Structure 1
Amino acid sequence: MHILYVIHAFPWNEATGATLVLDNYVEQAALSNITVSIMVPESAYKNIEYSQYGDAVRLYSFRSQENWAISGFDFALLHAEISVPVLDVLPDLVHVIDWVSFHPALHPFLRRLGCPIVRSVCNFEEFCPLTTPVFYDSKAKSCRAPLAPEQCLDCVADNHKLTVPGALYTYKVLLRDLVAYRNNYRQGITPLLSRRTEFVMNLFKNYVDYVVFPSGNFGHYFRAQLQDTIDFKVIPHGLREIAAVPMRESILPIKIIYTGGDRVAKGWDIMAGALEILARAHNSQFEIHCVGNSHGIPEHYFENLNIKLIRAPAYRRHEAAQVLSTFDIAIAPSQFESYGLFVRECVRSSVLPIVTPSMGVSEFIVNGENGLQLEEPFGESLANAILALTADANALTALRRGLNVSGVSTAAAEFEALLGVYRQVSDVPDVV
């Protein structure tokens, strides 16, 4: 059997949830004697000399779509006549992990291959031009599905990054032109947003045969927006099995990891509220490491002497267990999380996760058994949890040692469940 995986980037160029999942699929497919190829948009077809797959995996590119979040959902582009790649080996099955940045003509092209199309849905970019529907609701919760196009119009116009091309402007001229540019932008996206739901419903009706969701809560949310009946299955993402790393005993200062940066969907607003409270507590028994992309976090948080906030570089996937083993607590206050691989990695590494009840995370975390789930108001609740946990290092060590890891799935178990879907939709006999 030969599977064509479609995704927005190669795993060696980007360490996001989608690419990590694809990397697992490629590895597990090889163990099952299934050959694969990968297709990415032209804009992401780069650094192929760093491919860890060698000649075993064929790599293809397809036309990219500029400003995909808005213009990728244009009916006029769906059947556009564009040049398409010639595949060396025709697939027996196509698995679309996502189609971010692809030209919409990708869908008819895949359908013309004449094989079943399985679709993973791990985020909300089809319906939300800002990818995660958390910007419109002032209470910092996920927008209620189904979303209304006029609601999305105001949100996108307010939150989409607008730039005014041209030379230097005085403040008044810049403000005048920015308002005009914003109004023009709003007028331009109105017709596309008004038919966006129709476009996506057409996509899932005519160009997808089966859908896989990572969590039941997220699947329910997505299907409420789709307003249509689809064949689907919930298959939790799994972690690649690794050698056990010894657990770090909790000693002062307690080490805390946060990886969300200043992203709203990852809970920066909640984190900022907690930091304000922690700064007033004058507690020096912990340090918070902002790992990864933290350049958007205002500098004054790092300069505040009443809290110890430290910038730390991102880690590579193979370093995750080793890096996490140096921490005691993980803060994951996501406002929107379809699954939560990071939280599960923390539990496996005996790092106590403090989480908000967001979709895929609330399905996994049992309060007190494998983590702590915050209650509203989240910022205050987070600050209080940190102060309580860091007051007694021995008690924290006991909590971490008792974390229940039974709910953490493996990459092998995930792919075995996926093979069941492949068998169901495919007539190819050698899906073992």
Structure 2
Amino acid sequence: MRPRPAGEALLARRAAVRLGVQAAVIAGLIVVALTAVAVVVLLGAQRAQVATQLQRAIVRADDVADPPDGMYLVLRDRTGAVTVTPGLHAGVADLGAVADAAAGGSPPTVERSVDHVQYEVATELRSDGTTVQAILDLTVNHAERNRLLATMFATGLAGLLVAGAAGTWLGHRALAPLSAALSLQRRFVADAGHELRTPLTLLGTRAQLLRRRLRRDPGADPEVVAEVEGVVTDAGRLTAILEDLLLAADPVGARPREVVDLTDLCRDVVAAAEADATDRGIDLGLDVGDPVHTTGSAAALRRALTALADNAVRHAARVVTMTVRVEGHTAVVDVTDDGEGVDPALAPRLFDRFATTSRPGEAGRRRYGLGLALVAEIAAAHDGRVALVDTAGRGATFRLTLPVAPRNL
């Protein structure tokens, strides 16, 4: 298998990296959502555990000398005497809450910070008349919570990296067959273009020599001279189309962007299609006014207009008309024929590659709509579009719309 060109390999790598980044982003969103849920559950469980510890300490407290681990007690008996667990930092006990509870109040559980240490304080009057305030040092709880959060963060970050790497690897594997197919297609187009360029050059050269001899011959038939002029012109256009096809096949190449006069382009297309239209008995007309300019590739736009004209001539009964005009900031080209119109069942997929249908009177014959698909691709590459205009069953009108070049604004 021949190696892929550097441009295609670069595009494949970029696509694989984009897939990896997208996978990492999706995994990141999932991790963030799950982490948020886990944090909420964790904090709720810790608060419930702290509340249980405080309540248990309040119920079981007999004296302040031997509280549970990490716990401090404040007791007030019926006489009003207050005792405090030794070692409790000053300012931690809430004696106001003790007095409030002793008087029959219901002070809330609060969190207090003293010397950068967090405490949870709960106060309650027991049925035996003793008021108990349980104070829990939250250092251990916070340390455990922080460890869990750090572990979750590290795990999530590792998951993102793994997801990104796996997405890039899977993307590369998934894109490899497609990239190989595109590379094969590009090589085919490049080889075909190379093989066609030489005979086209020879054809153009011979046509120019023939034209030169006819011009020197006083007795040459003017119609023959005109036909030879057409051959020379068509050979030049074929060479330009070939170059445009080669550029279109290059994934990293860019078509030339130049100001194109659609009016002149349509004149050329109508002139080139006149012979075929005459053979079919079709009157091919052009309705233009002032010059209409757009920006893009003249060769590519000529291909699109030629495809529309060819499609109209093949399906017309007697008349085909190409109209060029400006509507606001849009250049509009309408190609209208008076044929039997388009099958409504085919209309939604008319611009798909290889869309098929059967022509009236030709049961079982299938025709492939590749030309219209190419028109749609060229229009999209020029920031425009092509559409089938509703003609109420009277023939068919295809409308090509393109942005107007600044000189038309």
* TM-score interval for Structure 1 and Structure 2 normalised by the shorter chain: under 0.3
* TM-score normalised according to structure 2 size: 0.21
Q: Relative contact order (C-alpha < 8 Å, sep 6+): which is higher?
A: 1
The structure carrying a bigger strand percent of its residues is 2
The structure carrying a bigger helix percent of its residues is 2
* TM-score normalised according to structure 1 size: 0.20
